Structure 1
């Protein structure tokens, strides 16, 4: 350890960890978790017994480990929290989305012939905001924010126009041009209603399809099935919008062919009518006891046909797009990945002004009796949104659970082979297991080691070598 006194404290802590006698086993377990950034430490045992003969097929106990515990993945889907576990979730999402568009994982490849569209549903406007345009102008610079020749002036004297070009690091992007004129309560209410609004949309879409082809809803179920896979994304202004795959199958799902009347044009037409019809009445924040407001999707509905040949967006690109956003949360708005339990926490979080106002709106709405059933405070760190990052119809494709079980079985078979244990050969087994939580996270000095292991595993993944 000579000379380490002059090194930074983190480096000294890392060197001390590497010098510990259990480092080799710890490193091995870190690799088995995929270099999880926040692993859980578990203590306990597992014994696998042949249910017929009583033979012990396998026994494992953390008492036999040099560290006395076992590291387990945290399983967090957010890339900002755990790059490793989020990548695994992203890969699973890609498989789920891709199987429903091109086949695989038990879904026939003929599903690629079924009419399907990729739709983006946005939120309505709650006031003018600064925009960061991804497209570039002729000069190679981002387009100007909000150019309006005859821009209106809000009651507070702010002109609703901005000729600046906001880059990737500009904190004003997504913020209101006039915070006093922006409807923060309405934006939070939309986020809170977004999940239920999506549910109603799926109901109305099926009704529109049935009405368009001259069938009752019960009769439609006998000839066709409409399935979905939806992912939620935060816009820079802090409101949710949805990206969704919508597909028409035969009555038994992707294994059966859709009727001849099921076309891309029909799907797009019915979707636009369903979006216009879907709404939820909620108490008006300014006068909750006497007035209601209809929460709806925005009028901008983008749809693209999904087709690997003949134009449209490819199934591979759609699957990548959905998988990309399933690992994201509200990071684009500056939100923390954990709950905001009280307003006093805002003094330490230092959120962007626009995001902070939305968080405060959550606490204000939570205190109003008219919204007593909606826990706005609990979901302040999500700006009121309390839905899932991704949802799908049961018949869309393979489930996440099936993918995890398949991976678990494969890893278990590999482990038994490496340890020289006999294959189970489909035998009926009994499992006696008892586990207890013993902490989570990494000690000081371990973070940089885990980051290095993760980087090497990602490099191996990219170049495709073992």
Structure 2
């Protein structure tokens, strides 16, 4: 993302690469033609000046939907307009008549390290999706705000001692920029050594940026195989845990003579520094209508947030299973949650340490992250690229990737997913998921954005209830069909990237300032009402 005060392009200097060495498919981002022999090199400034003086505003309107994207997809072909009732072809628009001869589409990548602009759109959508399941809106009835809800964090078990930074009591305002004095990493009265001769103690008080955090005290003692298998099984473990929590609540409801209930959830996965996945989960207790299973209704009055907390705690501490056998471990690996379980009740009031807005922002933040915290970031690995990242005798992350590749050999059915997700250290689940009935969907949020933009383009009034109206998308008088094919990824020149990203950044800053002004105005009005 390029700020308006910076002249740095989002494009990588090497075609098809970013600063994090994530390979884009197809044509690289920088596609400027080489200068003629003896001519001066073509710089981003020169191509930006050329673009700014040649139909700049027409071009900007054309690429606006992808402005800010680090590597937009370029499509070429033709766009057909058809009468949906008669099938008559009304018009044809070849992309060759458009600026640059292509249509630009934002990549839509959710990872902030790949495309900050698209990831920010995804994060904002995730925030609205999570919060609407707590307070209503976006097509969700506001009665959900009365349902008991908790915010739980499920962690992985230990696979061997690692360097940690533990602060008993935080006094800082922002834990992400913590300056509190931590406890010694692994203080011991007597220092013992492992079978490999490595001392199993560390008296350092690690700073947040210390690269040793998350690294095993002894790489050879650490169980990398169990680690990646647990990552791969984390999704199944969560499924069984939720089922067990619902089963516990319904048993309690039957004993109290109450009707059936169910749990709706929103969940975000996060990598710890050691490379293990843990889950941040919002769980909401709902009633169940047998006549309309899709309806979201309040739970019976006889069940409280304390009952929901007990059910989640019971499920997290009792659910465990063993994987099928493997040549490396015939008895299979045990799969269970770690000892660090945190469950907190939620409220819509500010007098509780955990509010709906905090949880929504927390989950949305992790929805745009990946394995970057471990120091590794790559696309899917194959036989040609695995040797660049895997090494059984290498670093901690290299050993995890090697474990995925070795254990996921095709000769071991049931574990083949480990190779497919070796670049994710074995974890193959989505980073943000939710129950179907929890709230709205990403598709509905994108559709609302389309309707808003169409209203802007056609100068039609955008009604406040447009989110709930599908007619303007479903009842089209004409049908637009895109006969398009892939032409490449990235902006045509570094100058184009500079101009597009700068314009998009300025628009974001204007929106941010507008939101701040509205928030200030609302706060001022509330203060005046209280004073009156």
1:365-384 pair list within 5 angstroms: 365-367=407-409, 369-384=411-426
| Alignment of 1:234 onto 2:271 | yes
Q: Distance in 2 between matches of 1:25 and 1:152?
A: 71
Deviations 1:377-422 (A, max 9, x none): 221110000001111111101111111122122223333349xxxx
1:3 paired residue number: none
Deviates more, 1:28-37 or 1:181-190: 28-37
Tell me how large the CA RMSD over aligned residues is. 3.3
- The alpha-carbon deviation at position 24 of structure 1 amounts to 4.6
Structure 1 residue 86 displacement after superposition:
0.6
Change beyond 3 A, Cα 1:92–1:10: farther
> Are the structure 2 counterparts of residues 415 and 395 from structure 1 closer, same or farther at C-alpha, using a change threshold of 3 Å?
same
Inter-CA distance 284–155: structure 2 relative to 1 (3 Å threshold): farther
1:387 and 2:429 correspond? yes
Does residue 109 of the first structure (1) align with residue 158 of the second (2)? no
Q: Does 1:248 align with 2:282?
A: no
2:286 is the counterpart of 1:263: no
In the TM superposition, what whole-angstrom CA distance separates every residue of 1:131-185 from its partner, at most 9, and x where no partner exists?
1346668994444323333565322232322121222332211110110110111
| 1:41-62 deviation line (CA, Å, top 9, x unaligned) | 0113333444447787876442
Correspondence 1:46-85 to 2 at 5 A: 46-52=79-85, 60-85=93-118
State the shift of 1:275 in Å. Answer: 1.4
Q: Matches of 2:131 and 2:79 in 1, distance apart?
A: 36
Unaligned runs of 5+ in 1: 1-8
- Structure 1 Cα separation of the partners of residues 356 and 476 of structure 2: 40
Deviates more, 1:384-393 or 1:436-445: 436-445
Find the partner of 1:437 among 486, 489, 512: 486
Contact residue 198 and residue 217 of structure 2 kept, 8 A: yes
Measured after TM superposition, the shift of residue 235 of structure 1 is 0.5
Q: State the distance in 1 between where 2:138 and 2:185 align.
A: 45
The answer to whether the 8 A contact 2:81-2:478 is kept is yes
Answer yes or no: is 1:36 the counterpart of 2:36. Answer: no
Say whether residues 1:201 and 2:241 are aligned partners: yes
Pick which of 382-391 and 105-114 moved more: 105-114
- The answer on whether the counterparts of 1:283 and 1:370 sit within 8 Å (CA) in structure 2 is no
Gaps of 5+ in 2: 1-39, 173-178, 461-471, 518-532
Give deviations 1:317-355, integer Å, cap 9, x for gaps. Answer: 010001000000011001214123248655479999211
1:171 to 193, 205, 211: 211
User: Using the alignment, how far apart are the partners of 2:414 and 2:298 within structure 1?
Assistant: 46
Question: Within the alignment, does 1:124 sit opposite 2:165 as a pair?
Answer: no
Change (3 A) 1:10 1:25: farther
> Is the alpha carbon distance of 1:280 and 1:48 closer, same or farther for their aligned partners in structure 2, counting shifts above 3 Å?
farther
Aligned residue among 502, 514, 519 for 1:452: 502
TM-score (norm 2): 0.76
| Structure 2 CA distance for partners of 1:342 and 1:181, relative to 1, 3 Å | same
> Which stretch of structure 1 is more off in the superposition, 38-47 or 53-62?
53-62
Match in the other structure for 2:43: 12
Aligned residues of 1:136 and 1:142 also touching (Cα < 8 A): no
Count of residue correspondences: 451
In the alignment, is the contact (CA less than 8 A) between 1:102 and 1:111 conserved in 2?
Answer: yes
* 1:356-376: CA deviation from partner (whole Å, max 9, x where unpaired): 111111112123733554232
Aligned partners of 2:130 and 2:360 also within 8 Å: yes
| 2:194 matches 1:154 | yes
- d(CA) in 1 for partners of 2:41 and 2:228? 41
User: Per the alignment, in what secondary structure is the counterpart of residue 42 of structure 1?
Assistant: strand
* Distance across 2 between alignment mates of 1:258 and 1:324: 30
What secondary structure does 1:93 align onto? helix
SS at match of 1:370: coil
> CA contact under 8 A between 1:305 and 1:312: conserved in structure 2?
no
Q: The residue matched to 2:454 in structure 1 has which SS?
A: helix
Q: Does 1:210 align with 2:269?
A: no
SS in 2 for 1:16: helix
Q: Is the 8 A contact 2:410 2:416 kept in 1?
A: no
Structure 1 residues 372 and 304: CA distance shift in structure 2, 3 A: closer
